[in-house]
Amino acid sequence: MSDNAPPKRPRRWMLYAPLGLAAAAGAGFYAMLQGLQDGSYDPRGVPSVLLGKPAPEFSLPALESVALPALAAEDLRGPLPGPVLVNFWASWCAPCIIEHPQLMRLSREGVAVYGINYKDRIPEAGAFLQRHGNPYRRLGRDEPGRTAIDWGVYGVPETYLLDRQGMIRWRWAGPITADTLENELRPLLRRYA
Amino acid sequence: MIGEIGHFALALGCILALVQAILPLIGAHRADARLMALASPLAGAQLIAIASAFGALLWAFAVNDTTVSNVVLNSHSQKPLLYKFSGAWGNHEGSMVLWVLILALCGGAVAGFGRDLPSALQARVIGILGLIAVGFLGFIIFTSNPFERVWPPPMDGQGLNPILQDPGLAFHPPMLYLGYVGYAVTFAFAVAALLEGRVDAAWGRWVRPWSLAAWSFLTLGIALGSWWAYYELGWGGYWFWDPVENASLLPWLIGTALLHSAIVVEKRESLKIWTVLLAILAFGMSLLGTFLVRSGVLNSVHAFANDPARGVFILALLMAYVAGALALFAWRAPKLGGTGIFAPISREGGLVLNNLLLCSIAAVVLVGTLWPMFADIMFGAKISVGAPFFNAATAPLAIPLVAAMAVGPLLAWKRADLAGALQRLWWVGALAVASAFLTLLVAGYHVLPALGFAAAAWLIGGATADLLDRIAAFRRPSQAWNRARGLPRAAWGSAIAHAGMGVTFAGLAGMGLATDTLVALKPGEATQLAGYEWRLERIRDVQGPNWSARRATVTVLDGGRVVTVLEPEKRFFPVGRMNTTEAAIHTNALRDLYAVLGDERDGGGVLRLHHNPLAPWIWFGAVIMALGGGLSLSDRRIRVSAPSRKAAAATA
């Protein structure tokens, strides 16, 4: 009927281990679901720790091959005349090419777009702006990438929106496509205008 | 009216499932034959009810009934009929109905094919399937009613996400669910065994076809999804270690382990506790995937629109079923007993190694998938675990697994001769080493592709060696044909499935040698990639049934001779205002030429061009694996059913 007694009895506690693990995972998942509801847990990846805070301290040199003023944290301190976009980019970054027409459009519409050129070479960065147009009012050169670390940049392109008080309100990791511009950015620009 | 019938059928199914969960289980407990006999008719009635509900949902989509909010949100009158149907299961509510339909089909199959099962075991299995159905039908009825009405009805629907309007994706969810839900049956067998306090060879023989069927469907489902990602998303990749992809890989890994350990239960009456645990975990992983996709706790391209209330409900179901089964396991598993001693060098020893490695890979994938979420909730740390981690962590486990895959089938049960097995594999080993060196010689210093080709040669050669050995092709060539015909289909199936894995490895290795380039071309301009000349001819407008597109024409030349004309598109779907990329792919089975159209500017366009050697082999290998599984399923020993359990018990 039943099997013979096993030669070595399995240790009983080991049979409870899967249950313990499952219970711990269940508790964790429950905490996540609670966090989703009260906003403390957000899987949509990229809530910047800077949201609702002013830009971190930095001062970047200008790009020598382009006749644009340099960029420092002082330029982002409120009160500002309108909302400001800070865009991290590089000439070696393919998605930056996709994003560029949208930045050009915003710039033509009078939105202040500030650029931070990330880990780039001077001639290439200049050639990029010559070829695709310059949307930036100010441009800082972050060759060592320190400023990008302080901002918590994932990679280029990445864009931040600051309101008139100089508070960071929005962060977008990845290119601003035409879709992002219409559905995400424009409502925010209207809101913080 | 049809919608109300569907809704009513769901409610009826839920009540039937509740009865199906209670009466047969009581009957089995009290050894009451009348109550146990209710199990099969109840499972049949449940199947009819759920099939009616699913039919009603299909009907609502087919006639574009805009009073049903699910149709409004996911369909449109202008959509081709196939995508109207696939729209029915391309959303959260509809896919849950498909899920319970497949569960009901499984219940019906256990009732129909399981007449030779001991009646108590059959009653318990059907009862537990009913218990699972109650939970998910309750979930649908209380949180995700697919027949919700809207009044006044809008003029037309809002359309299905255009990315999902694709033949590959129309069949991806049903295949995947057949796999996921198939593991509900092995789960039910495991729980039934725990309730009975007994696992024997007959049990192993019963579990094997179910795990084989679920595994084959899951293999096809994963391959279909990966193939779709390859040709539709236009990133040129086939596997992204996305959390949701991992969620489908986990039950596959555990299910593969289950498939092999069930053989040990059947042949050697050993590894019983372990096999029961694997059966519980395989379904647990399926449910975990369902939870991850539908609760909103993770961010993925695959995730459904989410609602935290649903998340809590699914979590409650997940915990009730998995934690419930694991608690039962902790309590009852000692009764199953009987982990016999066996020699490490033996068929069963090899299968244990297979199980250890597969489960280690599953553990790595599970931790890598869940860790970012738990790090966030516990330490508030935002981290991401990506492809480099998974590749680096699984490769060291995959190498010994592949090495053992060819040797294992050549080992005898109980006590085997490893040296003899290796001796019979010497030419396969030589072939593998030669493939690696040849790769390095031809393609340059690429270690992983070289290893991949070695693995492919080792697996395909190993499967061939196994078959040649079994039919004694060299020892008694005159009788080889007769022996081949007499060989059980299960033996053919396993050799074919192992060889299929080898084909997939060849594809993966080939993709490791893929090259691509991103160029901006004006019409008439050309670029070079992988020895081909790619010339952009023109970019023009085209009209489809429910989209308009920009289509580029790219001529690919090899030394002046036209190889193919690729026409990648960027489609725009006015309903839903969305763009999709349609990659153009030309394959000759040995390599894919792959082109994607990007942005246009100054009269030219940005093109992404890929040369992907052996890419189709990845999915072709998966099809071979599933075929092997199917062949194994058709084995006479499985079809004719196990010897009655009484006989097995009497001899024990």
A85 and A171 both lie in a single domain: yes
Residue A4 has a pLDDT of 41
Residue B216 has a pLDDT of 96
ipTM attached to this prediction: 0.84
B170 and B186 both lie in a single domain: yes
Interval B543-550 mean pLDDT: 84
B216 and B106 both lie in a single domain: yes
- Between the alpha carbon of residue B144 and those of residues A118, B49, B133, B154, B287, the distances in Å are 47, 18, 15, 21, 17
- Which strands form A138-142's sheet, in the order they lie side by side? A138-142, A112-118, A84-89, A158-162, A168-173
Q: How many residues does chain A have?
A: 193
Chain A residues at the B interface, defined by Cβ less than 8 Å, are 1-10, 12, 15-16, 18-19, 22-23, 25-26, 28-33, 35-37, 41, 43-47, 94, 97-98, 101, 179
Q: Does residue B539 contact residue B597 with C-beta atoms inside 8 Å? A: yes
Is the pLDDT assigned to residue B128 strictly greater than 90? yes
Is the pLDDT assigned to residue B646 strictly greater than 50? no
Q: ∠ CA(B347), CA(B351), CA(B354), 5° rounding?
A: 140
Answer yes or no: is B641 within a domain: no
Interval B304-324 mean pLDDT: 83
Q: Which residues of chain A have pLDDT under 50?
A: 1-7
Answer yes or no: is A1 within a domain: no
Residue burial B151-188, b: 16+ Cβ < 10 Å; e: rest: eeeeeebebbbbbbbbebbbbbbbbbbbbbbbbbbbbb
B373 and B471 both lie in a single domain: no
B478 and B586 both lie in a single domain: no
B458 and B552 both lie in a single domain: no
Nearest by CB: A6 against B297, B327, B337 = B337
Å from A180 to nearest chain B CA? Answer: 12
Answer yes or no: is A33 within a domain: yes
Beta strand B526-529 with A168-173 is unpaired
B536 and B557 both lie in a single domain: yes
B341 and B393 both lie in a single domain: no
Answer yes or no: is B633 within a domain: no
A26 and A120 both lie in a single domain: no
Answer yes or no: is B643 within a domain: no
Nearest CA in chain B to A35: B377
Answer yes or no: is A118 within a domain: yes
B494 and B572 both lie in a single domain: no
Q: List, in sequence order, every residue forming a beta bridge with B552; answer none if it has no partner.
A: B539
Tell me whether residues B377 and A28 touch, CB distance under 8 A.
Answer: yes
Answer yes or no: is A48 within a domain: no
Å from A118 to nearest chain B CA? Answer: 21
Tell me whether residues B378 and A28 touch, CB distance under 8 A.
Answer: yes
A35 and A75 both lie in a single domain: no
Backbone dihedral region for residue B576 (phi beyond 0: left; psi -120 to 50: alpha; all else: beta) = left
Residue where a domain stops, chosen among B348, B379, B410? B379
pLDDT range class, residue B640, cuts 50, 70, 90: very low
Tell me whether residues B598 and A30 touch, CB distance under 8 A.
Answer: no
Answer yes or no: is B580 within a domain: yes
- Between the alpha carbon of residue B575 and those of residues B495, B569, B598, the distances in Å are 49, 18, 22
Answer yes or no: is B647 within a domain: no
Interval B487-500 mean pLDDT: 92
Domain, as residue range, for B564? 515-615
- Of residues B327 and B578, more confidently modeled: B327
Residue A135 has a pLDDT of 93
A174 and A79 both lie in a single domain: yes
For an interface test with B, give the residue of A16, A19, A41, A128 to mutate (most B CBs within 10 A): A19
Identify all chain A residues contacting B282, using CB atoms and an 8 Å cutoff: none
Tell me whether residues B323 and A22 touch, CB distance under 8 A.
Answer: yes
Tell me whether residues B337 and A7 touch, CB distance under 8 A.
Answer: no
A131 and A186 both lie in a single domain: yes
Take residue B148 and report the two structure tokens written for it: 């919700």
How many domains are contained in chain A?
Answer: 2
pLDDT range class, residue B29, cuts 50, 70, 90: very high
Is the pLDDT assigned to residue B104 strictly greater than 70? yes
Residue where a domain stops, chosen among B344, B379, B414? B379
Answer yes or no: is A50 within a domain: no
Residue B413 has a pLDDT of 85
Tell me whether residues A97 and B599 touch, CB distance under 8 A.
Answer: yes
Q: How many CB pairs under 8 A join A and B?
A: 107
pLDDT range class, residue B436, cuts 50, 70, 90: very high
- Of residues B20 and B650, more confidently modeled: B20
pLDDT range class, residue B643, cuts 50, 70, 90: very low
Domain, as residue range, for A125? 59-191
Answer yes or no: is B37 within a domain: yes
Answer yes or no: is B384 within a domain: no
Nearest CA in chain A to B318: A26
Interval B363-378 mean pLDDT: 88
Identify all chain A residues contacting B601, using CB atoms and an 8 Å cutoff: 101
Answer yes or no: is A54 within a domain: no
Q: List, in sequence order, every residue forming a beta bridge with A139; answer none if it has no partner.
A: A115
Answer yes or no: is A23 within a domain: yes
A93 and A142 both lie in a single domain: yes
Backbone dihedral region for residue B412 (phi beyond 0: left; psi -120 to 50: alpha; all else: beta) = beta
A113 and A27 both lie in a single domain: no
Identify all chain A residues contacting B341, using CB atoms and an 8 Å cutoff: 7
How many domains are contained in chain B?
Answer: 3
Interval B386-410 mean pLDDT: 89
A95 and A23 both lie in a single domain: no
Answer yes or no: is A131 within a domain: yes
Average pLDDT, chain B: 87
Task: Quickly tell me which residue has 């690429």 as its tokens.
Answer: B446
Nearest by CB: A15 against B198, B299, B333 = B333
Nearest CA in chain B to A182: B577
Residue A79's CATH number: 3.40.30.10
pLDDT range class, residue B519, cuts 50, 70, 90: confident
Closest among B569, B605, B578 to A177, alpha carbons compared: B578
Is the pLDDT assigned to residue B126 strictly greater than 90? yes
d(CA B38, CA B123): 8
A164 and A114 both lie in a single domain: yes
Identify all chain B residues contacting A19, using CB atoms and an 8 Å cutoff: 323, 326-327, 329-330
pLDDT range class, residue B453, cuts 50, 70, 90: very high
Interval B569-582 mean pLDDT: 77
Nearest by CB: B326 against A18, A30, A33 = A18
Nearest CA in chain B to A42: B297
B507 and B369 both lie in a single domain: no
B129 and B141 both lie in a single domain: yes
pLDDT range class, residue B304, cuts 50, 70, 90: low
A118 and A83 both lie in a single domain: yes
Interval B436-457 mean pLDDT: 91
d(CA B638, CA B641): 5
Is the pLDDT assigned to residue B233 strictly greater than 90? no
Is the pLDDT assigned to residue B590 strictly greater than 80? yes
Answer yes or no: is B640 within a domain: no
Interval B431-452 mean pLDDT: 91
> For every residue of B224-238, which 3-state class applies, written as one string?
HHHHHHHHHCCCCCC
A20 and A63 both lie in a single domain: no
Backbone dihedral region for residue A87 (phi beyond 0: left; psi -120 to 50: alpha; all else: beta) = beta
